[in-house]
Amino acid sequence: MLAIVNTPNGPEPVAIRETAEPEPAPNEAIVAVQAFSLNRGELRLFQIRPEGWCPGQDIAGVVVKAAADGSGLPAGTRIVALTDQAGWAQHAAVPSHRMTALPDNISFAAAASLPVAGLTALRTVRHGAPLLGKRVELIALQADAEPAELTERKLTLDELLARRIDAPAGAAPLTDDDIQRAIVTGALDGNL
């Protein structure tokens, strides 16, 4: 299979090379990678990783072989996942607990940009209790949006998250599950 690998001593920092197929652990599925995203941490690792290292944490694709232990999603399922490395390849071994089904109306490219950024947002909200009830400024950018189309909305964080899960106004405080559901659905449909 082809993969993008580190070439610190080569004429360029990376190269597309033929590599071995991944050998999954019992709890890992093999995913045909359709899209991946870059993140700063991986780019910095190019400076210190050895020749042939394959980066890639944020991926989206299709399960081609389910995990041998029966955990996870079946073959044929569209997924978005967070891997430890080696996602910049045609196939990646992904732990069952680090992938989720991807709705048909979400592109692979959009989904691949979610894992690290989405988990960062989730952890911020989980540790950001001081933000609940306070006004936050949201700026939504879209790659094809014209500057005149961009709008600024100010809501409290809990109002924003409640809207994402259609909670009634004045509902009880949001639970961790509510917050996670709001972030995931909002991030996947681009409206958070």
pLDDT in tens, 116-141: 877 776 666 666 656 655 555 444 44
Give the distance between the most distant pair of CA atoms in the chain.
60
The alpha carbon dihedral of 19, 20, 26, 31 has a sign of: positive
51 phi/psi in degrees, rounded to 5: -50, 130
| Beta strands 78-82 and 58-65, pairing class | antiparallel
pTM: 0.68
Q: What percent of the chain has pLDDT over 90?
A: 36
Q: Which of 7-11, 110-114, 117-121, 173-177 has the lowest mean pLDDT?
A: 173-177
How many whole angstroms separate alpha carbon 158 and alpha carbon 153? 14
* Predicted confidence (pLDDT) at residue 97 exceeds the cutoff of 60: yes
> Which three-class secondary structure state does DSSP give residue 181?
helix
How many whole angstroms separate alpha carbon 94 and alpha carbon 24? 8
DSSP state of 14: E
Report how far apart the first and last C-alpha atoms of the chain are (Å, whole number). Answer: 37
Of the pLDDT bands very low, low, confident and very high (cuts 50, 70, 90), residue 145 is: very low
Query: Region 43-68: what's the mean pLDDT?
Result: 91
* Predicted confidence (pLDDT) at residue 61 exceeds the cutoff of 80: yes
* Predicted confidence (pLDDT) at residue 191 exceeds the cutoff of 60: no
Of the pLDDT bands very low, low, confident and very high (cuts 50, 70, 90), residue 28 is: very high
What structural domains and CATH numbers belong to the chain?
2-107 (3.90.180.10), 119-189 (no CATH)
